[in-house]
């Protein structure tokens, strides 16, 4: 059953948090997205001091009986990487419900993640590092940008010390890309925020760090592990396939990291529009509100990395798709919401895999 027949305008958030080594903490953050508060809204939560009021977090809502499970929100997937110390939580909902669900998950994350002690291979700026909003069906990128800005304003109002930079459709009017913003902010090296001026919020508290919030067409994460410990070789491959390279793969951003004793080529695969139809088997296409989007096939991406690695005498070990393709995300969201499955990540293997 399609989302249009269900009467839903669906969007997804791939919430990136700087925690993967405490499974119970990550799942607690994911579950927070599934609870609504029966009309109760606590103005601010206390991150640093003992609570004198009821905290607006999953634990307090559950213990005090303030919340009930939200039937129109689902957590589709949780992907955690120990070495990176980073998790991606896929939250899907009708667009009008997404802000409060993501807000609840973020507030829980800020309670339990401290950037002053966080360690991991993957670069990051914040406890809640990245909040991208993507359209799935019946809603456009422009509206997702407005949703992202609303979320940024609510988050900085509710969490003391939280600060935000905006990207993509939320970064009005410049609409700078996530890559541009990360370069400007020193994504790979910054842990000192004293000279930083965020887009929304005050100077970041060290515990919270800086959170990126934005909207764009769907972005997949596809990681390919090469059978080597040579980081230079991995960086060479990543450089060649980047879309910014004249001969690179359009819509692909790539980095190389040491990972589990080998080198992983970590790729963001962006969806993009084109004025002319693209007839090429390496691209997959989908449509939202009359807009045609394209993205590189994960199979083609893997084949290109395999070839480039082979040219250096290196094999590949495997490929991991972090979550879903755009169509898979839409299909899973429709099914989960129709069946009212909030904790879909626990059931997906028996349904779709």
Q: What is the pLDDT of residues 309-331, one digit of tens each?
A: 999 999 999 998 888 999 999 99
Q: Are the beta carbons of 331 and 77 closer than 8 angstroms? A: no
Superfamily the domain 219-322 falls into: Formiminotransferase, C-terminal subdomain (3.30.70.670)
**pLDDT beneath 70, residues of the chain:** 1-7, 36-71, 189-193, 349-353
Neighbouring CB atoms inside 10 A of 63's CB total 11
For the domain spanning 3-215, the CATH number is: 3.30.990.10
CA dist 31 and 132 (Å) reads 19
Q: Where are the domains of the chain?
A: 3-215, 219-322
pLDDT for 76-119, tens place per residue?
999 999 999 999 999 999 999 999 999 999 999 999 999 999 99
Please check whether the two domains, 3-215 and 219-322, share a CATH topology: no
Give the start-end residues of each E strand in the chain. 10-17, 35-36, 68-69, 74-81, 86-94, 128-137, 163-168, 210-215, 219-226, 252-259, 262-270, 272-273, 283-288, 291-296, 316-322
CA-based nearest residue to 308, from 263, 251, 353: 263
Neighbours of 23 (CB within 10 A): 13
Global pTM value:
0.88
Task: Give the 3-state secondary structure of residue 324.
Answer: coil
């Amino acid at each position: 059953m399609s989302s249009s027949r269900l009467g839903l305008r669906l969007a997804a958030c791939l919430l990136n948090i700087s925690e993967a080594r405490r499974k119970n903490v990550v799942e607690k953050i994911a579950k927070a997205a599934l609870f609504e508060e029966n009309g109760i809204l606590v103005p601010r939560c206390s991150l640093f001091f003992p609570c004198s009021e009821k905290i607006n977090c999953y634990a307090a809502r559950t213990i005090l009986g303030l919340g009930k499970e939200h039937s129109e929100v689902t957590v589709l997937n949780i992907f955690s990487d120990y070495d990176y110390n980073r998790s991606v939580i896929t939250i899907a909902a009708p667009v009008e419900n997404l802000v409060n669900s993501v807000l609840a998950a973020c507030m829980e994350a800020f309670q339990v993640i401290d950037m002053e002690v966080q360690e991991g291979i993957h670069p990051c700026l914040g406890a809640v590092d990245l909040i991208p909003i993507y359209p799935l069906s019946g809603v456009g990128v422009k509206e997702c940008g407005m949703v992202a800005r609303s979320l940024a304003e609510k988050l900085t109002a509710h969490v003391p010390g939280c600060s935000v930079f905006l990207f993509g459709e939320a970064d009005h009017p410049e609409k700078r890309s996530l890559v541009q913003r990360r370069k400007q902010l020193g994504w790979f090296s910054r842990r000192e925020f004293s000279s930083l001026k965020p887009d929304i919020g005050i100077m970041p508290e060290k515990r919270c760090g800086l959170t990126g919030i934005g909207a764009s067409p769907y972005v997949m994460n596809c990681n390919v592990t090469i059978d080597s410990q040579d980081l230079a070789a991995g960086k060479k491959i990543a450089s060649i396939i980047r879309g910014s390279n004249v001969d690179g793969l359009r819509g692909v951003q790539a980095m190389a990291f040491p990972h589990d004793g080998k080198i992983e080529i970590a790729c963001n695969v962006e969806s993009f529009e084109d004025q002319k139809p693209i007839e090429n088997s390496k691209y997959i296409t989908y449509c939202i509100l009359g807009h045609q989007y394209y993205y590189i096939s994960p199979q083609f991406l893997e084949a290109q990395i395999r070839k480039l690695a082979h040219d250096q005498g290196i094999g590949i070990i495997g490929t991991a798709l972090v979550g879903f393709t755009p169509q898979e995300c839409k299909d899973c969201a429709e099914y989960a919401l129709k069946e009212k499955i909030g904790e879909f990540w626990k059931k997906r293997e028996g349904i779709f895999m």
